[in-house]
Structure 1
Amino acid sequence: MPSSMRILQVSAEIFPLLKTGGLADIAGALPAALQEAGCDVRVMLPGFPAICAGLEGAVPVGSFAMPWGEQVEVVYGSLPALAREGRTLGAYVLMAPGLYDRPGNPYEDANKQAYGDNHRRFAALGLAAAHVAHGLDAQWRPQLVHSHDWHAALAPASLALWNEGRGPHVPSVYTVHNLAYQGVFGPEHFGDLGLPGRAFHVHGMEFHGQLSFMKAGLFYANHITTVSPTYAQEIQGPEQGCGLDGLLRARNQHLSGILNAVDDSVWNPSTDALIAHTYDARHMTGKAQNKAVLQAEMGLALEPDAALFAVVSRLTEQKGLPLVLAAVDEIVARGGQLLVLGSGETGLEQAFVAQSKAHAGRVAVKLGYDETFAHRIFAGSDVTLVPSRFEPCGLTQMYGLKYGSLPLVRRVGGLADTVVDSDLETLEDRTATGFVFDDFDETQYRRAVRRAFALYHRKAEWNRVRQTGMKLAFDWTTAAGHYTALYQQLIHV
């Protein structure tokens, strides 16, 4: 029964303690949903300063040595910031200050260069999960290990190869949040990973002569999930398979897409303490008030009727930001406004700042990531722009839907699974929730922007589409149900 299932979730970050992207949102929300479904869940995390600061009541459970001689101590405590409805969340944290006690970003230094020992830092995470699965903690042993993205990808490999594959079998699930970030390292580092020699093989983690953490997860996990049904199909093809599509096609019987969900306790305009005025689908006055606050704060013209387009994103080419830049004139010429929050590629940052100077009062930019401000942008904007080149799931468009900021997206990955284009048919049957275009192409993107303006000027229809989007449930109960069914199947094989 699900109630007896002991699940260890392994990730490099977790909201609200440490977040660089959507992975942290999922890693933070899934354990509570699984607890709600009756699972006994614990998480495992590296001992980054922000995570150690959020850990309470930590007691040592054991330690192990990495191949280069460093001792990694595993402690167990609770994370009060992730407690829900009286249920605490237990966490194993790797106490290895030499690996994790560094300021700033968990993956790179102040110059945005990846740390030279990242292979060691995250090999330790995967190996620690296998140690706990094989009894490092005498009080608790998981029946299944669920790891996330390349940082935790050596967990499935370590489990599969425990005692050269002759140890007791503990099943694993590996979730790909973004196949493009693969954790590839030089072959000279293989000896640091704690894996038997046969893992450095084309039928293993070898990838064009290099070591690929991502490939290790995909090859050795008992089951692979990714964060939307469409993305699960896309990564089996050469365009989005990032060189791993052959392996994914070979494993497609053990691959499924489970759509990410939105944590209603964090993202809900009717209860959100981070926005100036709360509101819901039936009482929308607060949204107009939030828009006025946002315009004033960011130096945008105080025009309640100007359509306010928003970008809340890493500023990378993948996210389709070159399309947004190329068509700023389309928004400005039609009397709209554009607000951008994010950081990333220097060229994109500079280009958006230049646009804000060229169109003062119409375009505003805030560089950096600010979680609180992101809430206020969704609450005050009319359209959320997510024109991505590829998008495994995307949470931004879901946040936009919940806050009545209609998503304008490309039909790809999770964007295709979550947004229904506004056309004559969907407006008629009241299923429309946003604006969707097909090709990664400036002409198509501009057309979608023009369609957004056209609907915006038809207030009754705009309000109806907005209401449909706000009533959608991207709920964790459904997602947790898919995961628990999968866990059950693997544990009882």
Structure 2
Amino acid sequence: MKILHVCSEFYPLLKTGGLADVLGALPQAQNQIGLDARILLPAYPAMMAGIPNTQIVAEFDNFAGHIILRYGQYNGVGVYLIDAPHLYHREGNPYHDIYYNDYGDNYKRFALLGWVGAELATGLDSWWRAEVVHAHDWHAGLCAAYLFNKGRPAKSIFTIHNLAYQGQFSYHHLYEIGLPSGMFHVDGLELYGQISYLKAGLFYSDAVTAVSPTYAEEITTPEFAYGLQGLLGGLKAENRLVGILNGVDETIWHPSCDSYIAHRYKLKSLTGKKKNKAALQAYFNLPQEERALTFVMITRLTEQKGVDLLIESADEIVKQGGQLMILGSGAPHLEDGIRHLAETYPQNIAVKIGYDEALSHLMVAGGDVILVPSRFEPCGLTQLYGLQYGTLPLVRKTGGLADTVVNSTSETIKNRSATGFVFDQATPEALRQSLQQAFLLWQKPRSWSMVRSDAMKQDFSWRKAAAEYFALYQRL
């Protein structure tokens, strides 16, 4: 079965979030179970540099100008690159400039991505034709609309990685992207008077997936649906909306083979974890105390991620003699807030503003608890990394966090299902109580070791997700 993934990010060549990690792992896992999965991406500078040996598949002119379609391979996976320098040759973030202003031609840049995705199901590559077009997030949402306009030559899947980002553009752009005006209505592309690329993916696809079962349920409610609860509720009723949990790429994120950490370890030999903790404390210039409960957080600094909740409750960590290390960037007021914490408690809290891939691996390997107190979280990957590395996740009960972490209570510890700490309400008080719960368990080393061991035994590999997607493709 020939599968084309259409997306805008790809780990390790270009990453702004978890979407890149998914596309860096899922197609490879699918190929390992006998599918022929390929990827379509814009030819950003990072993509061209990372996949230098390409051949020209097609050359054409359309609404977006003169386009060259290239094909190459990366880690054994076939990759198509849309070579259009006037649209994609921009360094840095693929969506906005250095001032965080969205590019004014994003409507055209990502319409082209969807258009080429549909064309690869109709013979644009004379040697390979997609049977299933699997589009990811709003950037690829128009894929299904173009396929619909062509008479549905292939089956289409749309995966929601984050419903909060919808790709909305002015109606007048419809005439510039090669779609008929008849598709602009409530049963089509229109959302609140604008074109919604995300809604196009939802409405026109044969099936829609969310990146966790709980998130698939949540997005049918007004709280999480951003005005799309009617459409999503209808998809659920028709059995066209399903939740498939993301996985972990064990070739990159596993303590026994992690190339970023100096001290590798495994479940039956955790000496390396202690050494990584000491190295992490040294990196952040915090006291190298093995018995200090160490919390780590690697995140975009936004309210969605609950950073404000942590700022208001972090004094609990200090009060109990713990340590907190944060890596991330984002909203200026939250950056200022965590800097102030580090300045106020220099012996307990340290911060690095920005992103550092190697440091993120050391933090997951060296921490005792990884914090993910999100207000909403479609799937979440950092808590999965934490489980893999025996760094117990402390999470809010939402989305994929609810699906992957079991709260440590006397009962769950006894029946060996506990894997971390879970709180319900998105309040500083609830987070504070969960922090206290972590300290209580830390004071019982035997119980802590049991929970850590059970956490490390969890299986969230991409093999499981690949098999679930295959079953969905077959159903279609």
TM-score bin, normalised by smaller chain: over 0.9
1:86-129 per-position Cα deviation (integer Å, ceiling 9, x unaligned): xx211110000000001111111011111111111100000001
Q: Which residue of the other structure, out of 179, 185, 198, is the alignment partner of 1:201?
A: 185
- 1-side partners of 2:182 and 2:152: how far apart? 19
Residues 340-383 of structure 1 deviation map (CA, whole Å, 9 limit, x = unaligned): 00011111011111111111121100111111111000011011
Q: Does 1:110 align with 2:135?
A: no
Match of 2:66 among 61, 67, 71: 71
Name the amino acid aligned to 1:60: I
Quick check: 2:40–2:80 contact (8 Å CA) kept in 1? yes
* Pairing partner for 1:179 from 153, 163, 172: 163
Partner residue of 1:220 out of 179, 199, 204: 204
Which AA in structure 2 matches 1:330?
E
In 1: Cα distance, 2:148 partner to 2:154 partner: 8
Determine the C-alpha separation between the residues in 2 that align with 1:444 and 1:168: 49
> Is the CA contact 2:67–2:82 (under 8 Å) kept in the aligned structure 1?
yes
Residue 404 of structure 2: aligned partner: 418
Name the counterpart of 2:116.
128
Residue of 368, 379, 391 corresponding to 1:393: 379
Contact in 2 for aligned 1:66/1:192 (Cα 8 Å): no
Does structure 1 retain, via aligned residues, the 8 Å contact 2:313–2:429?
no
Q: CA deviation at 1:188?
A: 2.2
1:139 corresponds to 2:123: no
State whether residues 14 and 24 of structure 1, in contact with CA within 8 Å, keep that contact through their aligned partners in structure 2.
Answer: yes
What one-letter code is carried by the residue in structure 1 that aligns with 2:315? D
**1:479, 1:473 → 2: CA distance?**
11
Alpha-carbon distance in 2 for matches of 1:385, 1:266: 21
Matched-pair contact (CA < 8 Å) for 1:174–1:224: yes
Say if 2:49 is the partner of 1:46: no
Shift of 1:483: 0.5
Contact 1:230 1:413 in 2 (8 A): yes
| Alpha-carbon separation, structure 2, partners of 1:64 and 1:26 | 30
Q: CA deviation at 1:469?
A: 0.4
Amino acid of the structure 2 residue aligned with 1:483: Y
Alpha-carbon shift at residue 147 of structure 1 (Å): 0.7
Q: How many residues align?
A: 474
- Which residue of structure 1 lines up, in the alignment, with residue 53 of structure 2? 57
CA deviation profile, 1:231-255 (whole Å, cap 9, x unmatched): 0000000000111111001111200
Shift of 1:168: 5.4
Residue aligned with 2:91, SS: coil
- Give aligned-pair identity as a percent: 50
- The aligned residue for residue 29 of structure 2 is 33
Residue 99 of structure 1 pairs with residue 87 of structure 2: yes
| Post-superposition offset of 1:423 | 0.6
Provide the C-alpha distance between the structure 1 equivalents of 2:59 and 2:208, rounded to a whole number of angstroms.
29
RMSD of the alignment, in Å?
1.0
Q: TM-score, normalised by structure 2?
A: 0.98
Of 1, 5, 11, which residue of structure 2 is paired with 1:9?
A: 5
Note the alpha carbon deviations across 1:442-480, whole angstroms, 9 max, x for none. Answer: 211110000000001110100110010011110111111
Find the residue that maps to 1:216 and give its secondary structure.
helix
Report how far residue 169 of structure 1 moved. Answer: 2.5
Distance in 2, matches of 1:392 and 1:306, equals 32
Q: 1:196 to 1:305 in 2, by over 3 A?
A: same
Which runs of structure 2 are paired with 1:288-437 in the superposition (5 Å)?
288-437=274-423
- Alpha-carbon distance, 1:276 to partner: 1.8
Q: Take 1:189 and 1:268, find their aligned partners in 2: how far apart are those partners?
A: 46
SS in 1 for 2:406: coil
Code of the aligned partner of 1:434:
G
The residue type paired with residue 169 of structure 1 is P
Q: Deviations over 1:387-445 (max 9, x none)?
A: 10000000010001111110000110000000000011101111100000111112111
**Alignment-mate amino acid for residue 25 of structure 1:** D
Given that residues 121 and 153 in structure 2 are in contact (C-alpha distance below 8 angstroms), is that contact kept between their aligned partners in structure 1?
no
Matches of 1:200 and 1:221, distance apart in 2: 16
Equivalent-residue separation in structure 1 for 2:20 and 2:182 (angstroms):
33
What CA deviation, in whole Å up to 9, does each residue of 1:270-323 have, x standing for no partner? 111211201111111111110111101111112111111111001100001111
Is the Cα–Cα contact under 8 Å of residues 56 and 78 in structure 1 kept in the other structure?
no
Match of residue 475 from structure 1: 461
- Whichever residue aligns with residue 359 of structure 1, its letter is Y
Corresponding letter in the other structure for 1:77? G
Deviations 1:121-157 (A, max 9, x none): 1000000011111111111101110010000111111
Q: Alpha-carbon deviations, 1:9-61, whole Å to 9, x = none?
A: 11100111111100000011001110011001111000100011111431111
Task: Classify the secondary structure of the residue corresponding to 1:270.
Answer: coil
Structure 1 range deviating more: 220-229 or 196-205: 196-205
Q: Structure 1, residues 64-84: CA drift from partner, whole Å, max 9, x if none?
A: 4332x51222111112xxx2x
